[in-house]
Amino acid sequence: MASVSVLLPTLNEEESIESTINQVRKVLPDAEIVVIDGLSKDKTIEIAKKMGAKIILETQKGKAVAIKKAFKEIDTDYALMIDVDLTYPVEDFPKIIILLNEYDVVMGSRFRGKMEEGAMSFTNNFGNRIISLCASTLFLKWVSDVCTGMWGFRKRAYKNIEITSQTFELECNMFAQSVKKGFKVAEFPINYSKRGGTSKVQLIDGVKDCILLLKERFSP
């Protein structure tokens, strides 16, 4: 059987990390669970350690920096990635693994599935669609949700994707790199739930996403 790592990037996620790990273990009991923490000040690391997760500490801030480090340290056949805010359907991980038999990179699309009322603000909804349209146009590859927090990769993909972003541009960076390097990319519909707490995403992040996409498109 193929080996699988599940990457959980965290920053002060003590309220959701235990539930997320339990959900992963339920659907993928043999998977390696990797928590990549970026300077959490709460009990995130303590909880993850008690639950037996592998811990990768990242001294620099930013989700992109964390995932870049994780990609270097893991060596499994497949890498799955999900945001630790209980909004994404962990139970769909087996679907991603099935798709990875055919594709190099798999993305879960919130816009092709069902969104719980209040799960995404009008501003974020509109911004995500604009960024996805920008990505689709620049790279001539249709993508409905380039900012999704649910991904799957074959080893040859995650070992060759060059992450140059620092924070919330990570997803655009990974999509652009996947297309430029000729990887087979697929989307599938996922349901998206309302999160607890406050979103860390801001309007300026959308601007940075578009700038990164432009740089990726016209760089060698």
pLDDT digits (tens), the chain, 220 positions: 899 999 999 999 999 999 999 999 999 999 999 999 988 999 999 999 999 999 999 988 889 999 999 999 999 999 999 999 999 999 999 999 999 999 999 999 999 999 999 999 999 999 999 999 999 999 999 999 999 999 999 999 999 999 998 777 999 999 999 999 999 999 999 999 997 545 555 557 788 899 999 999 998 7
Q: Determine the 3-state secondary structure of 149 from DSSP.
A: coil
Q: Determine the 3-state secondary structure of 74 from DSSP.
A: coil
Residue 190 phi, psi (nearest 5): -130, 155
Using alpha carbons, list the distances in angstroms from residue 143 to 14, 21, 135. 32, 29, 7
Q: Where are the alpha helices (DSSP H) in 122-169?
A: 122-139, 155-158
First and final C-alpha spacing in the chain: 37
Is 200 within 8 Å of 84 (Cβ atoms)? Answer: no
Determine the CATH number of domain 4-218.
3.90.550.10
Q: Determine the 3-state secondary structure of 216 from DSSP.
A: helix
Sequence-distant (6+) residues with CB within 8 A of 64 are 163, 165, 166, 167, 168, 169, 170, 173
Query: Which sequence spans correspond to the domains of the chain?
Result: 4-218
Is 88 within 8 Å of 190 (Cβ atoms)? Answer: yes
Task: Report the amino acid identity of residue 136.
Answer: S
